[in-house]
Amino acid sequence: FSSMSRRLTVDKVLSDIQIVLDGAESKPRNFVETVELQVALKNVNPTVDKRIGGTLKLPHPVRFITKIAVLGKEEHCLWAERRGIANFTEEKLRAFNRRKPVIKRVFKRFNQTLCSKELLRLIPRILGPALNRMNKFPRVIAGTMEQEISDLKSTVRFRQKRCMHVSLPVGHVQLTADQLRQNLVLAMNFIASLCPKGWGNIG
């Protein structure tokens, strides 16, 4: 372990989180703020080295409101429609005619996307690479819709850009300090596991 990992004690993390929560409470907004983790990297070259990224399921919801879109067969779209969740059948997706500006404008509103298994393999052909480049390629519906929606609310995707840091949401200010700590520590450990030198690449 590096000196950085040794500095991340439970008390230190909880203290820093409490500062964030106190700040949110002292200046209330008309929305529930998301808590974001920013990790500085060192001894890596983002223009040469492979940039890190991945998908991580956290113990607690990442956002207070998670905007989800369902892409799929009629059964799944009807389920989503009844619950006020945005949904797109294959016919609706083909109507985009692979127009990147339109696809980007529509899907940037959503945090996550779900897709029926039967339609998933057709997504690149129907929409092109747009969703993948937006880091919003759909997750396949493998279980019940209720479970998939629940899992999505606790799932975060991130990808390092051409810079020396990684940022990702790890919760919101309605969570307790300990719930945020659990999410944050798991995210930090996951990021370190993706780095070539582990914690040695964490600044």
User: Mean pLDDT in each 10-residue stretch from start to end of the chain (203 residues)?
Assistant: 60 92 91 92 84 91 87 94 95 95 95 92 94 90 89 87 88 95 94 90 84
Three-state secondary-structure class, residue 76? helix
Using the Cα atoms of residue 89, residue 73, residue 131 and residue 55 in order, give the sign of their dihedral.
Answer: positive
pLDDT for the residue 160: 85
pLDDT for the residue 1: 40
**pTM for the complete prediction?**
0.71
